[in-house]
């Protein structure tokens, strides 16, 4: 076993940072490079609206609890606001604003007709009963109902939210409106108008990007080693699809630690063990510290947890040649500068994890048409969109000598700016 360089431990698995400042720093740097008008940048940069509110629910024991909630609507020049709702104890207004900005860029990168939005509630959902979780979900909808809708703002699942929560939310919204409104939410159960492949979409889209990366840089899947930080919905599906495509997934981690096998993990076993025992560390393989996954000598590192997972100190320890950002904002600005100087290629989140919003778009289209596609059709359409977005990014990387993030941002900003200008003219 190779030596694993220790990286700093951080409370909750992520570093303390201002995600909004991270997002704005990258945006402004690229805007300057492409010569975007300062006033136009300001129009694009600032959220159109950020709603803050209190949610009160009655607990099972008869007591009452109050939770802080947010909804950031960043920009709708290209279409309705679109973005998930996360339930997490470390949600902040700045985080939600940053995520909505990234979503605006993400939608533009892959060319789906949406703008960016994001929502969140400061809560540990694991401390709520199922009944209490339903009450909180419905309370959130009542707070944002006036500003959402299929042509206004289309929420979806995010961290600690899922299809069941979307079912409660669409039911509550439909009661408020007096009519069934399936297209107002995506990520719903199949029985309530959800799309085939939506659960797997972000991970599947990430592997489509991995395939494009391998093709462009002449990597053989069978000889390409992959390490994945985070084994929730995104990380586990990425691992599953990557293994199916022949890549050697040698390490995965969760909040309890990392499991490693230089010959490749049995991903089916890891998924089963995670489900049954609550952690990947119970699977067959060598057990490492949680952040040990970041410093393994692999070809591709996939941060698939929360934002800020790779900071300056981590960057010095990273040995991977490529990073595919499956989390939102996992690499800090300072960390990326270090990685780039060391020759590491960083495929940005606004492309890499856009599979989720792309299939959410498919779900929205299917709801409005009343016509539904098979999983094979969904994945074929997704692969085409992800491959085209990757090629557009690489054309700018090669033609203008930009980093991968700069190229993706430049493509997105160009599209958004054109839409803003056409609305004003």
Q: Closest by alpha carbon to 354, among 72, 107, 23, 45? A: 107
Does residue 161 share a domain with residue 100? yes
93-110 and 404-424 helices cross at what angle (nearest 10)?
90
Burial 265-288 (b: 16+ CB within 10 A, else e): bebeebbebbeeeebbbbbebeeb
Does residue 114 share a domain with residue 219? no
Does residue 254 share a domain with residue 133? no
In a domain, 291, yes or no: yes
**Would you put residue 187 in left (φ > 0), alpha (ψ -120 to 50) or beta?**
left
Does residue 206 share a domain with residue 177? no
| CA R_g for the chain | 21
Q: How far apart are CA 104 and CA 416, in angstroms?
A: 8
In a domain, 192, yes or no: no
In a domain, 394, yes or no: no
Among the candidates 347, 365, 391, a domain finishes at: 347
**Mean pLDDT by 10-residue block, N- to C-terminus, for the chain (425 residues)?**
45 56 91 93 95 98 98 97 97 96 97 98 98 98 98 96 97 98 97 97 98 98 97 96 98 96 97 96 95 96 91 94 96 95 97 98 98 98 98 96 95 96 84
| Residue at token pair 């008008």 | 37
Does residue 82 share a domain with residue 136? yes
Confidence at residue 425, expressed as pLDDT on a 0 to 100 scale: 64
Does residue 177 share a domain with residue 205? no
Give me 268's structure tokens: 């089916």
| CATH code, domain with 120 | 3.40.50.10860
Active site residue 82: no
Q: Which of 82, 106, 118, 248 is catalytic?
A: 118
Q: Closest by alpha carbon to 230, among 259, 204, 208? A: 259
DSSP designation for 281: G
| Residue at token pair 């939005």 | 117
In a domain, 14, yes or no: no
Query: Residue 252 contacts by C-beta under 8 Å, 6 or more apart in sequence?
Result: 227, 228, 229, 231, 235, 239, 258, 259, 265, 267, 270, 280, 293
C-alpha distances out from residue 408 to 27, 327, 347, 395, Å:
11, 16, 9, 10
In a domain, 355, yes or no: no
Confidence at residue 18, expressed as pLDDT on a 0 to 100 scale: 83
Q: Which domain holds residue 290?
A: 201-347
Number of folded domains in the chain? 2
């Amino acid at each position: 076993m190779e030596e694993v360089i220790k990286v700093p431990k951080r409370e909750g698995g992520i570093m303390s940072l201002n995600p909004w400042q991270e997002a704005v720093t990258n945006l402004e740097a690229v805007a300057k490079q492409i010569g975007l008008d300062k006033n136009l940048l300001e129009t694009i940069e600032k959220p159109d609206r950020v709603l803050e509110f209190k949610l009160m629910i009655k607990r099972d024991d008869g007591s009452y609890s109050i939770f802080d909630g947010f909804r950031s609507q960043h920009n709708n020049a290209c279409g309705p606001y679109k973005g998930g709702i996360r339930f997490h104890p470390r949600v902040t207004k700045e985080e939600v604003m940053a995520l909505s900005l990234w979503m605006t860029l993400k939608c533009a990168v892959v060319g789906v007709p949406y703008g960016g939005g994001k929502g969140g509630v400061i809560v540990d959902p694991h401390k709520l009963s199922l009944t209490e979780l339903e009450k909180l979900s419905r309370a959130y909808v009542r707070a944002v109902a006036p500003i959402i809708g299929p042509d206004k703002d289309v929420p979806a699942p995010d961290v600690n939210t899922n299809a069941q929560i979307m079912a409660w939310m669409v039911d509550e919204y439909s009661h408020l409106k007096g009519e069934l409104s399936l297209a107002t939410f995506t990520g719903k159960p199949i029985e309530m108008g959800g799309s085939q492949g939506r659960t797997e979409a972000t991970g599947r889209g990430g592997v489509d990007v991995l395939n494009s990366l391998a093709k462009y840089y002449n990597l053989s899947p069978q000889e390409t080693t992959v390490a994945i930080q985070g084994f929730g919905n995104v990380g586990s599906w990425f691992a599953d699809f990557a293994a199916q495509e022949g890549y050697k997934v040698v390490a995965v981690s969760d909040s309890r630690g990392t499991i490693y096998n230089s010959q490749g993990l049995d991903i089916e076993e890891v998924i089963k063990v995670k489900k049954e025992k609550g952690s990947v560390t119970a699977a067959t393989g060598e057990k490492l510290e949680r952040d040990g996954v970041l410093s393994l000598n692999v070809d591709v590192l996939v941060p698939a947890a929360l934002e800020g997972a790779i900071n300056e100190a981590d960057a010095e320890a990273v040995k991977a040649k490529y990073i595919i950002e499956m989390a939102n904002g996992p690499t800090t600005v300072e960390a990326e500068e270090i990685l780039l100087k060391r020759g590491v290629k960083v495929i940005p989140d606004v492309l890499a994890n856009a599979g989720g919003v792309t299939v959410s778009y498919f779900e929205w289209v299917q709801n409005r048409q009343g016509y539904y596609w098979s999983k094979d059709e969904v994945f074929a359409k997704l692969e085409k969109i992800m491959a085209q977005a990757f090629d557009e990014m690489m054309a700018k990387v090669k033609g203008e000598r930009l980093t991968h993030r700069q190229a993706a941002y430049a493509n997105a900003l160009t599209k958004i700016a054109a839409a803003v200008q056409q609305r004003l003219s």
